[in-house]
Amino acid sequence: MWVIAVLALHHDIWFWKSRHTVFGFLPIGLAYHAAYSVLAVITMALLVKFLWPSHLEVPEDEYAPQEQE
């Protein structure tokens, strides 16, 4: 659900026509998506922490690298 909410937040119709700036120079539409990128980082960090597919790890004894011929 969190991921779906994040994906939905990408479509920020509320800032579509706004020309306001943040920090005195950054257009709010750009600032929003910069913040969205940070939200993406947080989302991925949460996924890694709580939903990491550790069952996919391959133990060394199950993997046999090719030998040189």
Partner 1 sequence: MIPVIVILLYLCVVAYIGSVAFRKGKENTEDFFLAGRTIGTAVFFLSLFATNMTAFAILGSSGAAYKQGIGIFGMMASSSGIVIPLTIFFIGTRIWSLGKRFGHMTQVQFFRDRWECSGVGTFLFFLSAAMLIPYMIISIIGGGQVLQDISRSSAESAPIIPYWLGCLIVTIVVTVNVFFGGMRGVVWVNVFQTVLFLLFGTVAFITIGQGLPGGLSDFVHNMAKDPVNGALLSRERMPAEVFWSYMFIPLSSIMFPHMSIMCLSAKKMSAFKQTVVVYPIAIMLIWLPCVFLGALGAQAVPGLKETDGVLLHLLSQYAPAWLAGLLGAGIISAVMGSDCHQVLALSTMFTKDIFSYYGGLEKYGEKGMVYFARAFVLIVTAIAYLIALARPTSIFELAIRFAFSGFAALSPIMIAALFWKRSTKYGALASGIWVLACVLGTWYLTSYSDSFAPKPPTPPAKSVALAEGKPSRTEGTPSTNPTEGKQVAQLNTGAERQLTASPVGDPAGKKSPIADAPKKGGKPGAKAGKAGGKAGAKPKGVPSVPIFPQLGNMFLRSPTQVTVYGFLPVVPMVIGSLILMILVSLLTPPPSKETVDKYFPQG
Q: How far is the CB of 69 from partner 1 (least distance, A)?
A: 5
Q: Which residues bind partner 1 (CB under 8 A)?
A: 3, 6-7, 10-19, 21, 24-27, 29-30, 32-34, 36-38, 40-41, 43-45, 47-48, 52-53, 56-58, 62-63, 65-69
- Nearest to partner 1 of 1, 62 (CB atom): 62
Q: How far is the CB of 9 from partner 1 (least distance, A)?
A: 9
Q: How far is the CB of 8 from partner 1 (least distance, A)?
A: 10
CA-CA distance, 67 to 58, in Å (whole number)? Answer: 19
Q: Which residues are registered as beta bridge partners of 26?
A: 22
CA-CA distance, 39 to 6, in Å (whole number)? Answer: 8
